[in-house]
Chain A
Amino acid sequence: MPTIVLKNNCQSTIKHYPPGDLAIWFFILAELLVFGIFFASYAFARMNNVELFNELQNTLDREAALINTLALITSSYFVVRAVTAIGENNSKLCFRWIVAAIGMGGMFLFVKSGEYAHHLSEGITLSSNTFYMFYLSLTFFHFMHVIMGMVILSAIAIKTRNGSYSANNCTGVHTGAAYWHMVDLVWLILFPLVYIMR
């Protein structure tokens, strides 16, 4: 029989529900389902156009994708630090970690926008071919999620700065963190699938 030690509302050792508002987890599952279908569709579309996909994959900027992956992983880790800080009742530190995470998200958007600008300057659009259709739609769909995640993190940062969260009232921080980790999780599959696997 496991020992259950409740430190406060946000630091139980063993739980039966995930951290944060349960509603966000249903939303996350729906999002993951959509991305999962997208990923599988990409892989099966590639099956019929292997040479095209391999050739055009080489036109993508892998260094930019590497920077973006590192940025999202780092921002996710910063959010973990923010959650830990609020669990210790340190809202000032929590605020700083969230701002740092938002900064990393901003870096992702900046680098990805540069990639899009480059593609547009070369006349690449959704209708160029199957590969670019998948590449642009998949990455832009994820891009929009990064923006959404940054909006959520910004709202949490403002509330944290105003002292709305504490160790006993941190569901909002956990909820936003779960969404942001989902955005990171999706990119962790998208990056190798679109940029690396051949």
Chain B
Amino acid sequence: MFMYGKQIMGIRACTWVYAFLISFTFVTYLIGKFELDGLTTAITVLVLALLKGHLVGLYFMGLVRVKGFWHWPVTVWLIVPGSLISIAFYLSYQ
């Protein structure tokens, strides 16, 4: 477990997360720049954003090292508004 911890929690892991966050941001920006629309595109953009938020919560905020109740608040926060936003966009396309 400690070895697993060492591998996923160090600054190297955070640097990789940073690289992913930057990459996902550029993908999101390009989708906006080319004004791609449609439900699938909107949900893809949202999923990318939720994934970015999840990575920030786990690695930057250090919740990957936390067990129990306090491991989950950021994840739950991402899921609940994320689901509501998805429902609203889905309904707007009906």
Known: A25-B70, A189-B81. A70 touches B22 (CB 8 A): yes
In the complex, chain A residues whose CB is within 8 Å of the CB of B21: 73, 188
Q: How far is the CB of A103 from the nearest CB of chain B, in Å?
A: 17
Q: How many residues of A contact B (CB 8 A)?
A: 58
Contact, CB under 8 Å: B67 / A39:
no
- B53 CB contact (under 8 Å) in A40, A54, A74, A188: A188
- B92 CB contact (under 8 Å) in A18, A46, A66, A79: A46
Q: How far is the CB of B69 from the nearest CB of chain A, in Å?
A: 8
Per-residue CB contact flags for chain B residues 49-91 toward chain A (1 = under 8 Å, else 0) read 1101100110111110111101001100110111011001101
Per-residue CB contact flags for chain B residues 14-42 toward chain A (1 = under 8 Å, else 0) read 11001001100110110111010100001
| Interface of A: prevailing SS | helix
A-to-B contact residues, CB < 8 Å? 2-3, 5, 12-19, 25, 28-29, 32-33, 35-37, 39-40, 43-44, 46-47, 50, 54, 58, 62, 65-66, 69-70, 73-74, 76-77, 79-81, 83-84, 174, 177-178, 181-182, 184-185, 188-189, 191-193, 195-198
Closest 5 pairs (CB-CB, A-B)? A43-B88, A196-B32, A36-B81, A40-B84, A2-B1
29 A–B pairs (Cβ distance < 8 Å), ordered by A: A2-B1, A13-B1, A13-B6, A13-B9, A14-B1, A15-B65, A17-B70, A32-B73, A36-B81, A39-B81, A39-B84, A43-B89, A44-B88, A47-B88, A65-B29, A66-B25, A69-B25, A70-B25, A80-B59, A84-B14, A181-B61, A185-B61, A188-B49, A188-B53, A189-B78, A191-B28, A193-B46, A196-B29, A198-B42
